[in-house]
Structure 1
Amino acid sequence: MGRVQDKVALVTGGASGIGLSTATLLAKEGAKVVIADFNEEGAKKAAEDIKTADHEATGIFLDAGQQESIKEAVDFTVNTYGTITVLVNNVGLTNMQKDLDVVNIDIDEWHRLIDVNLTSVLLGCRYAIPYMKEAGGGSIINTSSMAGSASDSIRTAYGSTKAAVNHLTKYVATQYGKDSIRCNGVAPGLIMTPAAEQNIPETINKEFLRHNALPYHGEADDIGYTILFLASDESKFITGQVIDVEGGHYIANPTTPLFNEMMQQQS
């Protein structure tokens, strides 16, 4: 208990999945948390659940595609709890029906994902950093994705925006480090959130598991605990980094599972 005691955190996209895990863990460890989400009802429900457990949280509406909405979320956090010392830019969208290969991608979807996945991160930092300076420092954590470093046959916009988030993270860390403001990213692999369980076919799940170095899938808390660490003073000398949390899925030659199967057959 108390790893982020008395810190004030804004978690965007906090009504479910990784964001919900993050908000819950931050509150459990002593932070006052604002949960901002397009699903306002879900954000308020999450905050009530946290309060029921005798921790502090508030749920509000956020449209991450709208600049004014992001500013209002940051201002609300400061007006409610007096400051902001932790910002978790967790909102991210993908649409596998429209976010296709370069030739066939829906250009409107390309622009929408740039706004929601990338520009929202810039704006969250823009509005939070002046308050963090007044507070004497802070920690910004951006939720990225392994799609930001490993390409795919579709999701061109999603992967491109996440790659940009990775580099933006370094820029923020470089520009505001002397103000004791740290900025890091977390890049999840396949994480079995309720959305992933609902939308990803079992055959794909099995194929991911086959290529993981570890014998299990990731869960939302695996990312939540990583963000908690980066929000805490335990990571006070870490900035400008993107931590891959992906079960070793991307570390080995892709032929490794086939090679292992071949060796088992010969033994």
Structure 2
Amino acid sequence: MGRLQGKAAIITGGASGIGMAAAQMFAAEGAAVAIADLDQQQASDAAARIQEAGGRAIGIAVDVMDEESLADLVNASVQEFGRLDVMCNHVGGSNPRKDLDVLRLDLEEFDRTMQLNVRSALLGCRLALPHLIDVGGGSIINTASVGGLAGDYMQVAYGTAKAAVIRMTQYVATQYGAQKVRCNAVAPGAVMTPALQNNLSAEAIDKIRSHNALPFIGEPEDIAAAMLFLASDESRYITGQTLVVDGGMTSHHAIAEDRRIQPD
């Protein structure tokens, strides 16, 4: 308890899945949390659950692709809590039915994906930085993906966007480290979120599991725990890094699964 005591955090996409798990962990460790979501009711409901558990939270509607909406989020959070110490730019994704291979990719979806993942994270950093500097430093956490670390047969827009988020994270870390602002990324692998379960069949999920080094697919809390570490002072000497949390999916050569030796 108390790893974030006295700190205030914003989590975009905080009303469900990984974002909600992070919001609950942050609040349990003493942080005041602004939960931002496109749906005001979902944001308010998520904040209410934290309040019922004894934490401090508010729910705020935000459209991360709109600069004014993001500015309103940051201003409302700082007004409510009096400070900002942690900014989690968590919203992202793409439409897998349009985000295909290079020849079949919907170019409008490519532009939308870049705006949703890269531009929104850049704006989140840009709007949070003055407040983080004002309190003597803080932590920015950008959600990337293992999709930004290697190629795949589909979702070229998503992978390209997440690669950009990883590189942008290093730029922010380099440019504002002197003001004690840390900026890191978390790159999840497959996680048992509603999005994963809604978009993939049970067979496809089992196939992903077979390529993990660990014999299971992670839960939202596994990623949230990494975000909590990066938000806390325990990671005070870590910046510009991408923490891969993927059950070992990227720990081995692609051929490794075909060469697996089954136990007797």
Question: Into which bin does the TM-score normalised by the smaller protein fall?
Answer: over 0.9
- Residues 35-77 of structure 1, C-alpha deviations (whole Å, 9 max, x = no match): 0011221111110000000100000101111111111111111
1:15 is the counterpart of 2:20 = no
2:205 equivalent in structure 1: 205
1:93 is the counterpart of 2:89 = no
2:167 equivalent in structure 1: 167
> In 2, distance between residues paired with 1:38 and 1:93?
14
With the length of structure 1 as denominator, give the TM-score of the two structures. 0.96
1:227 equivalent in structure 2: 227
1:30 equivalent in structure 2: 30
- Residues 103-125 of structure 1, C-alpha deviations (whole Å, 9 max, x = no match): 22111111111111000001011
Superposed, 1:187-202 pairs within 5 Å as 187-202=187-202
Check whether the contact 2:94–2:109 (CA below 8 A) recurs between aligned residues: no
> In 2, distance between residues paired with 1:10 and 1:159?
25
Query: What is the CA distance between 1:146 and its match in structure 2?
Result: 0.3
How big is the alpha-carbon RMSD for the aligned residues of Structure 1 and Structure 2?
Answer: 1.1
2:258 equivalent in structure 1: 258
> In 2, distance between residues paired with 1:235 and 1:92?
24
> In 1, distance between residues paired with 2:199 and 2:116?
21
Query: What is the CA distance between 1:84 and its match in structure 2?
Result: 0.7
- Residues 193-229 of structure 1, C-alpha deviations (whole Å, 9 max, x = no match): 1221222111111111111111111110000000000
1:237 equivalent in structure 2: 237
2:116 equivalent in structure 1: 116
Aligned residues: 264
> In 1, distance between residues paired with 2:101 and 2:249?
23
More deviation, 36-45/5-14: 36-45
Could you list the structure 1 runs, at least 4 aligned residues long, displaced by more than 6 angstroms after superposition: none
- Residues 71-115 of structure 1, C-alpha deviations (whole Å, 9 max, x = no match): 111111111111111000000021111111112211111111111
Superposed, 1:31-70 pairs within 5 Å as 31-70=31-70
Query: What is the CA distance between 1:189 and its match in structure 2?
Result: 0.2
> In 2, distance between residues paired with 1:70 and 1:220?
24
SS at match of 2:26: helix
> In 2, distance between residues paired with 1:98 and 1:192?
22
> In 1, distance between residues paired with 2:84 and 2:18?
20
2:151 equivalent in structure 1: 151
Code of the residue aligned with 1:64 in structure 2: it is V
Identity over aligned residues, as a percent? 46
More deviation, 198-207/58-67: 198-207
Any unmatched runs of 5+ in structure 2? none
SS at match of 1:163: helix
Code of the residue aligned with 1:74 in structure 2: it is V
> In 2, distance between residues paired with 1:52 and 1:226?
24
- Residues 149-180 of structure 1, C-alpha deviations (whole Å, 9 max, x = no match): 11111111111010000000000000000101
